[in-house]
Amino acid sequence: MAPERALLLHAVFEWAAILAGARLYFHERGLHGLRGALQPQNYAVLTGCLLGAAIGNKAVFWVDNPQLWNSDTGVVQFFLGGQSMVGGLVGGHLGVELGKWFAGVRHSTGDHFVFPILLGIVIGRLGCLLAGLHDQTFGIQTSLPWGVDFGDGIRRHPTQLYEILFAMLLWGTFKRGRTRLAVRPGLMFKILLVSYLSWRLLVDAIKPVPYAYPMGLSGIQLVCAAALALCIPLLLAQLRRREAVRA
């Protein structure tokens, strides 16, 4: 597949993921009787989410690829080139929290984002899979029978497909436990965040490393480890509060 066609295909799936996720987000709010998403408080939360995701998306890509900083790509290419799902998720979460602080929102809003995020991952990674070598999200060489040749004669781990299956597994798990998890608003989102960051910390070990940091870790793995160090204590604290309520 020609690079231009692959990039166009990836962009189509990327926008499809964003639009489908947004549609599901409003549907999720409607299921809980929440309307008026563009009222001042909700507008601040959505704005924070979008801006945080956009900034985090690019920032983590460049953390993962510092070797490109000195390349002759130009300012425009610096902002347009590359992106990171980890950065989008972490940045979006930080943006939501800042938006809530600015608008004076005290209740948890994260659970409404869980299924839209998972849907976006499934659609987006399908685009990554179809874009093949030009997307740079494939795994390292493997002799396993399900290895995929993306066009260069080398069978690789289809890590895009692994992530689709992981997201679908989380979807089913959350669907089954939704009523029980809803007892503590925000718990489901924290579980999603910790689960996805842990998944990326592990699965990126079978991906090519564009720039090796200490211990051979990629920039994305370092970001995942740092974010987990902050998120796991918050998750455990909420789980303990939940158990205290039961007692």
pLDDT in tens, 76-85: 555 555 678 8
The encoded tokens of residue 104 equal 């004076």
Listing DSSP states for 6-32 in one string gives: HHHHHHHHHHHHHHHHHHHHHHHHHHT
Please check the confidence at residue 173 and state whether its pLDDT lies above 90: yes
CA 178 – CA 195 distance, rounded (Å): 16
More confident residue, 25 or 144: 144
CA 217 – CA 221 distance, rounded (Å): 6
More confident residue, 207 or 102: 207
- What per-residue confidence (pLDDT) applies to 247? 39
Please check the confidence at residue 154 and state whether its pLDDT lies above 50: yes
Q: What is the pLDDT of residues 2-30, one digit of tens each?
A: 767 777 887 888 889 989 988 898 888 77
Could you tell me the residue ranges of all domains in the chain? 3-246
